[in-house]
């Protein structure tokens, strides 16, 4: 073992874990948060079918999910349905972890769910993104699940699509999203709590050929499928990785580059569509929507889902 490996294993890794634990309230708080998460998982299994109110506007939402996140998606969809009054058509894309038991859980959400199995996605990939022509996108698809939020809903498709993350909850009527879904005419995105692209702004702007907008967050992401140039996305990925290595935020960087060319965008108001709510907001939601990233997961599991559950009761 080299000195560097020794330091990584016995100092840096334990110290980073300790820092993460302290940010999340310490070991005892983490244990209670995990207990509450398990209660959320169990509660999700007893959610009713998504309502399909007669004569209500129909809203299509697209989510990539699976065994680790289906319970989150269920609460997300129910909270949107409850506060929007819309009839939801939920397009659920298999992240590769669906089995018969999970399909049964998904079926409980009712006929408003359209399931896209892995076999369907794999066939589209082989036909439209063959490995021989798109080696980087295919490698990222295998090893970086976030890229699937771009490929799986949009590849081989047409029209505008609103792709959302599973870890969202809605607490008020989402008028901004309803208006966009009724008449989409430009890309849509949320606002991040801190700029997180994973790559230097100079490289992103060189490749995009336009100034990169600040604080793009893809928890809400509306794009027009047929306008995505997969050859260009392949070239962008190859150049980004060759120059500055892989990043967890690659998908967000790609979307920031795409929307850089199509200004002005529809930008979700940051105060209403809130990324990373703080403790006060997490305990008593006033925003339209919360996106629970990083340490705000603590408020998600301990307060947010229960607030959403209470709103579902007649």
197-228 tens-digit pLDDT: 999 999 999 999 999 999 999 999 999 999 99
pLDDT at 12: 45
Q: Is the pLDDT of residue 22 over 60?
A: no
Q: What is the mean pLDDT of residues 279-305?
A: 97
Average pLDDT for the chain: 94
Residue 88 corresponds to which tokens in the numbers above? 């939801």
Cβ contacts of residue 186 below 8 Å, gap of 6+?
262, 264, 265, 266
Cβ contacts of residue 210 below 8 Å, gap of 6+?
260, 261, 263
pLDDT at 28: 77
- pLDDT band of residue 18 (cuts 50, 70, 90) is very low
Q: Is the pLDDT of residue 185 over 70?
A: yes
- Phi, psi dihedrals of residue 48, rounded to the nearest 5°: -75, -175
Q: Is the pLDDT of residue 74 over 80?
A: yes
Q: What is the mean pLDDT of residues 125-139?
A: 98
Round to whole Å and give the CA distance between 74 and 59.
16
pLDDT at 23: 60
pLDDT at 313: 81
Cβ contacts of residue 139 below 8 Å, gap of 6+?
none
What's the CATH number of domain 52-312, 3.40.50.720, 2.30.30.90, 3.90.550.10, 2.60.40.420?
3.90.550.10
Q: Which of 16-30, 123-137, 190-204, 215-229 has the lowest mean pLDDT?
A: 16-30
pLDDT at 29: 80
Percent of the chain with pLDDT over 70: 92
Q: What is the mean pLDDT of residues 228-252?
A: 98
Report the Cα 231 to chain-centroid distance in Å: 24
Round to whole Å and give the CA distance between 75 and 54.
22
pLDDT at 309: 97
Q: Which of 7-11, 43-47, 177-181, 273-277 has the lowest mean pLDDT?
A: 7-11
Q: Is the pLDDT of residue 254 over 70?
A: yes
């Amino acid at each position: 073992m080299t000195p560097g490996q020794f330091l990584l294993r016995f100092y840096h890794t334990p110290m980073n874990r300790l820092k993460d634990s302290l940010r999340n309230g310490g070991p005892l708080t983490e244990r209670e948060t995990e207990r509450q998460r398990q209660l959320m998982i169990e509660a999700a299994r007893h959610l009713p079918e998504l309502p399909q109110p007669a004569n209500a506007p129909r809203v299509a939402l697209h989510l990539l999910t699976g065994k680790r996140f289906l319970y989150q998606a269920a609460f997300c969809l129910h909270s949107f349905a409850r506060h929007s009054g819309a009839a939801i058509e939920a397009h659920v894309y298999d992240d590769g972890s669906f089995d018969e038991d999970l399909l049964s859980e998904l079926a409980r959400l009712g006929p408003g769910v359209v399931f896209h199995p892995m076999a369907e996605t794999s066939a589209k990939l082989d036909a439209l993104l063959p490995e021989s022509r798109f080696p980087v996108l295919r490698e990222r698809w295998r090893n970086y699940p976030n890229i699937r939020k771009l490929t799986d809903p949009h590849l081989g498709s047409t029209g505008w699509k609103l792709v959302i993350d599973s870890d969202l909850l809605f607490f008020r009527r989402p008028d901004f999203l309803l208006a966009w879904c009724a008449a989409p005419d430009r890309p849509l995105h949320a606002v991040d709590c801190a700029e997180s692209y994973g790559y230097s702004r100079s490289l992103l702007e060189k490749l995009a050929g336009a100034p990169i907008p600040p604080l793009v967050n893809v928890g809400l992401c509306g794009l027009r499928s047929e306008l995505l140039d997969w050859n260009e996305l392949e070239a962008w990925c190859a150049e980004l990785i060759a120059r500055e290595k892989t990043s967890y935020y690659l998908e967000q960087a790609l979307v920031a580059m795409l929307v850089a060319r199509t200004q002005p965008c529809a930008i979700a108001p940051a105060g209403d569509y809130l990324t990373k709510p703080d403790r006060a907001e997490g305990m008593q939601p006033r925003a339209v929507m919360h996106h629970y990233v990083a340490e705000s997961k603590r408020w998600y599991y301990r307060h947010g889902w229960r607030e959403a559950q209470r709103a579902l009761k007649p």
